Every structure is written in C-alpha cells, then in structure tokens.
Amino acid sequence: MNIDGPIKTFAEFNNDNCRNGYLYFNQKDDLRISVMPSKRILDTPWSLQKIPFKQTGREILFLLL
C-alpha cells in the first residue's frame, strides 16, 4: 500500500500514550505518527498476527502479486 509515497526517515516511538508506535517523514516532509496493532508480532522478518479459525484448515493458497 502506498499512501504517503517514499518514506524519508523512520524511527521507533514508544511512550505511555503510544505503545508499539513509530514516526516517519513522507516525501512532503509531513511527520506521521502511527501505531502497530498490539496483537502484531514484530520480531520476525515479516509482521505476523495470529487469527483464530473456528474450523481446521484443509488447504492453503499462496499468491504473489
């Protein structure tokens, strides 16, 4: 997803009001403050989130776009 265009700088931002947050400047030099969902696992090469299913999965489909 490309909302702000290229990101110039990126930094971790955590405080009492913003846990798992980050700051970045976009190509227009606008400062953006964002938060990752608390259930997201960030210490892997890809961010992960466990999603409960009510049934056992029988097939997996992997698409590259």
Q: Looking at 8-12, 25-29, 36-40, 59-63, which range is the least confident one?
A: 36-40
What Cα–Cα distance (Å) separates residue 23 from each residue in 11, 27, 50, 58, 64?
A: 5, 14, 25, 40, 29
Distance CA 19, CA 55 (A): 33
Whether residue 19 contacts residue 33, with contact meaning beta carbons closer than 8 Å, is answered with no
- The pLDDT tens digits of the residues spanning 20-57 come to 788 999 888 899 988 877 788 878 888 788 888 888 88
Band of the pLDDT at 60, cuts 50, 70, 90?
confident
- C-alpha 14/C-alpha 33 separation (Å) is 11
Confidence band for 6, pLDDT divided at 50, 70 and 90: confident
What residue numbers bound the domain in which 28 lies?
1-34
Q: Is residue 58 part of a domain?
A: no
Domain membership flag for residue 24: yes
Count the domains in the chain: 1
Predicted confidence at residue 2, as pLDDT, reads: 65
Of the candidates 55, 49, 29, 25, the residue with the CA atom closest to the CA atom of residue 37:
49
